[in-house]
Structure 1
């Protein structure tokens, strides 16, 4: 029997042990293959987010998968070698050279890598059309996907993972040279000393984690760029270092404190489980910390994207309150637009608004815009009549609400000298205290002062090039006085049209965009010609649908890899504890008592990482929720996170139960 046949025979005998690893790596290859298929599929090359292409997201995600898979595969190799130390020692005793043993390990890794690569690539090709359809569904696109093999994707997948598994196999080959024969033979006889820990380190871990949480909850999420990056980086450093120190110092310290509780500790199963776990947590502190952080990243990523996706429908009116809007349209063009809508026959017009706003300059000692943050400065703004604003509110069916971007509380008759202020900022911080204060309005080199009787964040013209500028609503009589003095360049005219089914107006909008002159086009935001509900709807769903798709599969990959690492670690420890469990059986411990101790021991290991990860993700999501109130409406992030956490825990518990059964089979199954 040659070494290749020996390696193949070993895999067959230990296939059950390799199965979880094979499933995880095959899944990684499959997802990488699907992402590459989408990247190389010309059908997706036209989809964009802002100035970039959707395919760029999948390229970045594919790179992230390869990097994560590299860590997982190399980490798993270490576990496999540890489980086979005695087997390798026996090979040495019967006369096999280290180079021969290394070659056998090399072949085993290559065979497993080839199986994972072949299965993953085939599955990726087979399911690429199915998952492309899911992606288009998430992106609110009804385009049909034709099945075609993207050979560039196949070649890229095979080459990437063959290189990865080749590196892994070379690493496995070299591992045999790192151990002496005596170390391999006495692998399970290494004594465990009472774990050392630092009391100060334990206290500092709690302080760092609390500090990270506190900074995350109080940092000003309105600030962007470098100002937000610094506190975010501080939070990250505090949480990561705090988590490492928590598992290295605080938790072993807490476990040793439990041993001093005689009523709790002197129970048969507790003596075993607590005694075992107090050593294991210290020894595995780095791994448990990584699992906890990976858990937090996975839950946060999946919950945030899922929550955002579910809220997208409510955000569309913020970007486009009208079903269709154009700027500076004359009566003839307006009639042509109505005729096109009628001829298309796709939707019906329920309301139209042709309104004007006048360019002015506004100044209040306490007011500034977000981009400047300079209170008291004079800013460009607009004025509008109250009858026009009432008509917009009625036709766009705006709900009543204060300080919300898609709501307004305007319900008053303005008197001369009074004004209702519509802030162009997205946050209420700049306008919430303006009611009752004077607003200076400069027009034609004349400054008039108006008393602010109400404030709103309502984005009545959506996400236009003008939307960040404030508007002062005046009485009709006051507005008409300014209108009589205004020149043609001072007035901006808008035409807003409401459809009975804006989500089904795609063909209508395409037809309208063909007849609207280039110089009247409203906005290039999201890469669309005019501002339309369906245009914004498809644009934001294209972006966040892709985010959800990528986040979902990378999250599952993280979970499978983390669960696999935890599983293999427990298998190694079970093999190391076989002799101790033999002794416990001989002194009279029953199978039920031993299983109860194993259940408790593994529950602590799995539960600690999960609990810490959930705690981290909770504060991360609370911070995320504060940054995502674009529409002035609190998103149900934590409710949506509950759904993700529930699914996560179910899959995580599967690995826990699998570990318990395997651990028990090893601990009880051997009889002397």
Structure 2
């Protein structure tokens, strides 16, 4: 029997233990191959107006995925090599040379890598059409029928994962040279010391995380802390304090809390709780680094996916703030205005809900506190008509020099400070405005009428002869989010000076960019989730093999299997729940800060993302409990 055949036999016999590792590799290869295929696909580039953006986005995503998968495979492979120390020691005791054992381990990992690569590319080729349809759907395009597998994508994937497989295979080859024979046999019997708990360091971990949270939730435009640290240093301080605090949380605070729980004799001595608590206590410090990585990675994944989904989810409401009307433009001449109306009336898919013509005034120079820019003046009566059309249930009654500013994206620290010192620069004199209030919405489309100010009818008539009059046309139509052809037809006859803006144009652009983000974020997030879940699974299986003898003794002295399973479930739940809860907390703070910055609610999309993430994690939890139980009870 050759070493190669022994390696194949070992893989088949240990397929249960290798399954998740193998499945995770295949899943990663499928996603990587899909990203690279989409990058090279000419049909997608022809369909989307932003094809260079798609190509560069997928290149970046593929690179991030490649780095992560390489680390994951390396990390996972180290678990399996560590787990097989005794087996390697037995081969050495039987007289097999180290070089031969190393070659056998090399063959095992290389075979799995090559098989995973073949299956991954095959599945990727089959599923690519489905993934393309998903991408086109979320980007607002019609699903494509034709899709060809790119040879460049296959070559790229083979090279990348071939190199990764070779490197990790050599890692297994080097295992035999790193340990003495006695160390290999005593690998599972190495004693673990009870970790020390420090109340001061435990408290320090909470303070560090609290510091990071506090800085993150400050208004970065007005906060003195952000101003002092600077926009480059502050994020590094947040990351450093949160990551270090998380590590100390797992390595010290959890030890401290477990020791406190051990002092509660009633619960500690109930059933075999002392076994589970003791095992967690002795191993938690050794697992601190792994749990920290998983918590930080979970937080990063949830934040990225949550942000992408939030942009997609809130796209319509965000665009509605920018474009409260279906179409708005400055009338260049009567012929164009008349032709636009004819085009809309002729279109059978869209009815005119309302059409409104109004006159506005352009202030070339209006000065507020240390700020100057162009404003669009809107009369009180026209504002009330537009507000009624848009179902705002609000009307104004301005007198003399009273005014109201409309600023849907007002941000303290960036937007101008509107006050009684606002002055209109008209030709022959200055008009001082009394700003009554600032409303965080507009009744005119942003691109056509930038920075509107509502003034009284009296003031509007007073300065009308001294300022540039601008005639605007406002249309609201049915099915405004599905007006591609109509928008294209109207835009084709519009001169640039008309400043034509439409709800559909901005809505479709938002769907395209946010759809691309959610596609990449969703699939990358799934890869990260599968990898982190697998890492915990491998870690627990390694510990299960170490605990096998202890559970056999417990069974012999009368502990039933139901009680053993209950203890295992509690022990594994602690390891799974801890990084997940900490990751969710980190994500909640990050998205809360982002929500304040974007001035929009992210609660619904974020809760949906966390729910999906937690559900998949729960599946991994039950798989781990089941596998752990089978190992310690010798069940097949």
Pairwise CA distance, 1:360: 4.2
C-alpha contact (below 8 Å) 2:140/2:511 kept by paired residues: yes
How is 1:247-262 mapped onto 2 (pairs within 5 angstroms)? 247-262=250-265
Q: How many residues align?
A: 632
Aligned mate of 2:497, from 504, 508, 520 = 520
C-alpha contact (below 8 Å) 1:216/1:619 kept by paired residues: yes
C-alpha contact (below 8 Å) 2:408/2:439 kept by paired residues: no
- Once residues 50 and 127 of structure 1 are traced to their aligned partners in structure 2, the CA distance between those partners, rounded to angstroms, is 24
Aligned mate of 1:508, from 457, 469, 486 = 486
- Once residues 474 and 236 of structure 2 are traced to their aligned partners in structure 1, the CA distance between those partners, rounded to angstroms, is 44
- Once residues 236 and 114 of structure 1 are traced to their aligned partners in structure 2, the CA distance between those partners, rounded to angstroms, is 38
Q: Which residue of 1 aligns with 2:429?
A: 446
| Matched position secondary structure for 1:107 | helix
Q: Which residue of 2 aligns with 1:242?
A: 245
Q: Which residue of 2 aligns with 1:357?
A: 361
Q: Which residue of 2 aligns with 1:471?
A: 452
Give CA deviations for 1:82-125 in whole Å, capped at 9, x if unaligned.
Answer: 22111111111111111111111111111111111111111111
Give CA deviations for 1:406-460 in whole Å, capped at 9, x if unaligned.
Answer: xxx5x1232223222234752367889957x453222114112232233223233
Tell me the TM-score normalized by structure 1.
0.88
Q: Which residue of 1 aligns with 2:19?
A: 19
How is 1:568-647 mapped onto 2 (pairs within 5 angstroms)? 568-629=538-599, 634-635=600-601, 637-647=602-612
- Once residues 111 and 355 of structure 2 are traced to their aligned partners in structure 1, the CA distance between those partners, rounded to angstroms, is 68
How is 1:267-416 mapped onto 2 (pairs within 5 angstroms)? 267-355=270-358, 356-364=360-368, 375-395=369-389, 397-400=390-393, 409=394, 411-416=395-400
| Matched position secondary structure for 1:484 | coil
Sort the Cα spacing of 1:33 and 1:521 in 2 relative to 1 into closer, same or farther, 3 A.
farther
| Matched position secondary structure for 2:453 | strand
| Matched position secondary structure for 1:577 | helix
How is 1:48-447 mapped onto 2 (pairs within 5 angstroms)? 53-220=53-220, 227-355=230-358, 356-364=360-368, 375-395=369-389, 397-400=390-393, 409=394, 411-423=395-407, 426-427=410-411, 437=420, 439-447=422-430
- Once residues 111 and 307 of structure 2 are traced to their aligned partners in structure 1, the CA distance between those partners, rounded to angstroms, is 39
How is 1:524-535 mapped onto 2 (pairs within 5 angstroms)? 530-535=500-505
C-alpha contact (below 8 Å) 1:360/1:383 kept by paired residues: no
- Once residues 514 and 489 of structure 2 are traced to their aligned partners in structure 1, the CA distance between those partners, rounded to angstroms, is 27
Pairwise CA distance, 1:17: 0.9
C-alpha contact (below 8 Å) 2:132/2:144 kept by paired residues: no
C-alpha contact (below 8 Å) 2:45/2:51 kept by paired residues: no
Pairwise CA distance, 1:392: 3.0
- Once residues 338 and 363 of structure 2 are traced to their aligned partners in structure 1, the CA distance between those partners, rounded to angstroms, is 27
**2:465 is the counterpart of 1:484:** yes
Sort the Cα spacing of 1:100 and 1:501 in 2 relative to 1 into closer, same or farther, 3 A.
same
- Once residues 264 and 202 of structure 1 are traced to their aligned partners in structure 2, the CA distance between those partners, rounded to angstroms, is 23
C-alpha contact (below 8 Å) 2:308/2:514 kept by paired residues: yes
Tell me the TM-score normalized by structure 2.
0.93
Give CA deviations for 1:353-395 in whole Å, capped at 9, x if unaligned.
Answer: 333322243344xxxxxxxxxx344443232222332333344
Give CA deviations for 1:212-267 in whole Å, capped at 9, x if unaligned.
Answer: 11112223367999954433322111111100111111111221222222222222
- Once residues 44 and 542 of structure 2 are traced to their aligned partners in structure 1, the CA distance between those partners, rounded to angstroms, is 45
- Once residues 167 and 430 of structure 1 are traced to their aligned partners in structure 2, the CA distance between those partners, rounded to angstroms, is 51
- Once residues 242 and 444 of structure 1 are traced to their aligned partners in structure 2, the CA distance between those partners, rounded to angstroms, is 61
- Once residues 603 and 501 of structure 1 are traced to their aligned partners in structure 2, the CA distance between those partners, rounded to angstroms, is 49
- Once residues 62 and 503 of structure 1 are traced to their aligned partners in structure 2, the CA distance between those partners, rounded to angstroms, is 32
Give CA deviations for 1:587-635 in whole Å, capped at 9, x if unaligned.
Answer: 3322223222212211111121122112212212211221222xxxx42
